[in-house]
Structure 1
Amino acid sequence: MKYLFRASILLIFFLISCSQEAWLTGTLNMSDGTDWKPMVYLVQPEKFNEVAQSFRAKILDSAKVNGNGQFQFVNSPGFQEPVLLKVVVQRKNEKFPNRLINQNPETDNYFPLVYEPNAKIKIDAAIASFQSSFSLEQPSQANKAMLQLRDERMAAFKKYLKGQASEHNVDDNLLEREENLRSYQEKLIHFSDSTVELLPALMALRWASPEGDYERIAELIYAQAQKWNAIFLEHDWVKELVSVADKGALPILIGDTITELQFPMKNGEDVSLQEVINGKKLILLDIWASWCAPCRVENRDILVPLWERYNPQNFQIVAYALESSEKAWNNAIEKDGAHRWLHASHLEGDQNPFMDALRLKTIPANFLLDKEGRVLAKNLHGQDLIDFVDDYMEKN
């Protein structure tokens, strides 16, 4: 009788499970899948900073891919509101189901999916090109936006970043690589600005920098935080975004005024920004180093000509150097012909009070200031810097 009772219980559970309808089903093309596990994983980033981050998302469920490439998830996550999930596949040698690859959207191993209560979702993809081939049957509006984001990200990647990852990280093309990265990020920020769907918008902001480094797009991320906070004031992820994009956490923004800034000058004096301005029409605050090849090229090819042309018209340059060797600093100034303008440094290397005050981590960097210390533009280099200074000096 005991064994009969157990058998009856097992039969009931079996019949219940068979009667449950899968909420997420799909078919994977496994023709190039010899290196891949025949498994699909469902993971949930619980915080904004976990989105697009490896090893951070919570593992919710997994499903085996059968011989026909089909899989299904029967147990619904049961959330009562839209939630961002990741559908993930892994190579055979990968131990962690929540490892996300962000190297190339043509082959990355996951897709961000918006779960909505009571929705039935059907997926089709090729396992070896999972993100780029991912498609949905009759997607919701939120998931339509996610597919659009994927397409725009992939197009931007092909235009600006493809091939850069394999190049040697040499200083000669550092500024070009940085400009390409910014152009790529701008495309993703534009998507966030143009959509009405919150979760795809937040996905775009995380894809703009999976590492959470928004230093070079500070104005853009700040504007998005303001936009989404006005619409979704109580959303936890929006609150996180607002914290990340707080003015106190970002570099000085265009339009803000730098007031209390002290320069430890070469002659040993501490000079305030107002003393540096001293009636000047336009001030270029340049952050550089003797070991920074692009900085040195810009000294010689851009800053010297600008100084010669406009210093008589109240154009000033003050350069702060990330130096620990006074000898190397002095040698670079003389070799570049940069002795013409003002120089300052704490001689404390990368970690110094000046970079902390400006909330900077990356060079080359610069700020163009008016006579009030207001930031007119920043991080302009090469011809862009020449054009800005030409235009401003002619109009003012």
Structure 2
Amino acid sequence: MRKLFLTLISIITLSSHCSAFSYRVEGQVSDPAFEGCQISLYDNFGGGSVASDTIRDGRFILQGQSDVSFAGSLLGYSKETKKISCALIVEDGTSTVDIDNARQISGGPLFGKSQEFTEKLSNATPDEVPGLLREVIVSNPDNAFGEMALANYTEFCSPDEWSEVYALVAPHVRERERFKISDQDFNRMRSTWIGQPFVDISGKTPGGEDVRLSDYVGKGKYVLVDFWASWCGGCIKMATNTLKPLYQNLKADGRFEIIGVAVSDRPQSSIKAIEQHAYPWPQIIDCGDTPMTDYGFRVLPMLILFGPDGKVVARSGNPLNTITQINRILNK
């Protein structure tokens, strides 16, 4: 059955590459600041700008040809550095976008499928989301809808689950730069995935003393390690809105603590951010890029939960998934 399925994928892929299709993206921009400015269409997973137009009378049209449908983004800047952007599925025929509300409002069959799926996701529980994404990938192995699901699946899957779906998608999808990088990352994650022992990290305290991750992990407590950087806006937001309340709720629980590890950050910048945002948990700074290499991630923030024995208990491309795991474990 698997061999037959892979054969069918090959046939579909070959047929989809037989001839290019023409696409057209239309939209309006109400803000006069963008009049006369350029707006460009980007292939999100494949390689840069593929079409552009100048906004005239508040309207634009982007046209081109492609061998395959793709997940795209529109991006434009005014002279005052205002920004407009919108995600969309680019496929055969005409698509329209509502720039003011940053959404696609019409398109082809794949756009219709994505709308139905978005509605389905809105009614799904968090535990159901990975399975729903996998269904989309398996049933759309060679198109933009499947690519979008595959990109989102990286936030939920294990290295083994990734390898399974990556083997099922069409060759041209596997060759997308975004997914080749994801495949490399998941292969590196295997040695530090759930159930594996921690890899030690050395650095400095904000006071300049030598410190190691092993000073905290594997000492009989659950330890949440927050990999962050002072230049990472998402890290600051995560620490302020999520980790601080979590710390306040659990600081009296002798089973749990939080440790910060500053990654790819200048020590003085890390110290300034720690003081400015008043992080109350211990910090390891001046670690360079080593944590990203050792733990196989490229995007910050990254949260990894270690168990009392020092083994990885939870990690995810979506930090909120790790927070959910913490609450489940400690509230049993």
TM-score bucket of the superposed structures, by smaller chain: 0.5 to 0.7
Partner in structure 2 of residue 302 of structure 1: 242
How far off its partner does 1:109 sit?
3.1
Whether 1:313 and 2:258 are equivalent positions in the alignment is no
Partner Cα distance (1:300, 1:324) in 2: 19
How far off its partner does 1:128 sit?
2.0
Partner in structure 1 of residue 164 of structure 2: 226
> After superposition, where does 1:26-37 map in structure 2 within 5 Å?
none
How far off its partner does 1:221 sit?
7.2
Provide the secondary structure at the position in 2 that maps to 1:290.
coil
Distance 1:205 1:377, change over 3 A: farther
RMSD: 4.7
Distance 1:205 1:184, change over 3 A: farther
Partner in structure 2 of residue 83 of structure 1: 14
Whether 1:281 and 2:221 are equivalent positions in the alignment is yes
- The 8 Å contact of residues 323 and 347 in structure 1, kept in 2 or not, is answered as yes
Identity %: 14
Partner Cα distance (1:347, 1:298) in 2: 20
Partner letter of residue 247 of structure 2?
A: W
Partner in structure 2 of residue 259 of structure 1: 198
- The 8 Å contact of residues 166 and 174 in structure 2, kept in 1 or not, is answered as no
Partner letter of residue 334 of structure 1?
A: E
Partner Cα distance (2:297, 2:258) in 1: 19
Partner letter of residue 278 of structure 2?
A: G
Provide the secondary structure at the position in 1 that maps to 2:155.
helix
Partner in structure 2 of residue 376 of structure 1: 314
Q: Deviations over 1:117-165 (max 9, x none)?
A: xxxxxxxxxx32499445xxxxxxxxxxxxxx664324346888xxxxx
Partner in structure 2 of residue 155 of structure 1: 116
1:109 to 88, 91, 103: 91
- The 8 Å contact of residues 287 and 320 in structure 1, kept in 2 or not, is answered as yes
Which 5+ residue runs of structure 1 have no aligned equivalent? 1-47, 52-78, 111-126, 135-148, 161-182
Provide the secondary structure at the position in 2 that maps to 1:155.
helix
Which 5+ residue runs of structure 2 have no aligned equivalent? 1-5, 25-60, 74-86, 97-105, 122-127
Q: Which has the higher strand share?
A: 2
Partner letter of residue 295 of structure 1?
A: C
2:210 to 262, 269, 278: 269
Partner in structure 1 of residue 136 of structure 2: 191
Provide the secondary structure at the position in 2 that maps to 1:284.
strand
2:293 to 343, 356, 361: 356
TM-score normalised by structure 1 residue count: 0.48
Structure of greater relative contact order (alpha carbons < 8 Å, 6+ residues apart): 2
How far off its partner does 1:96 sit?
5.8
Distance 1:277 1:387, change over 3 A: same
How far off its partner does 1:284 sit?
0.6
How far off its partner does 1:89 sit?
1.0
Partner letter of residue 153 of structure 1?
A: S
How far off its partner does 1:381 sit?
5.0
Q: Deviations over 1:286-337 (max 9, x none)?
A: 1112233332233334323433443441312121123543333112212322
- The 8 Å contact of residues 225 and 238 in structure 1, kept in 2 or not, is answered as no
> After superposition, where does 1:1-12 map in structure 2 within 5 Å?
none
How far off its partner does 1:248 sit?
2.0
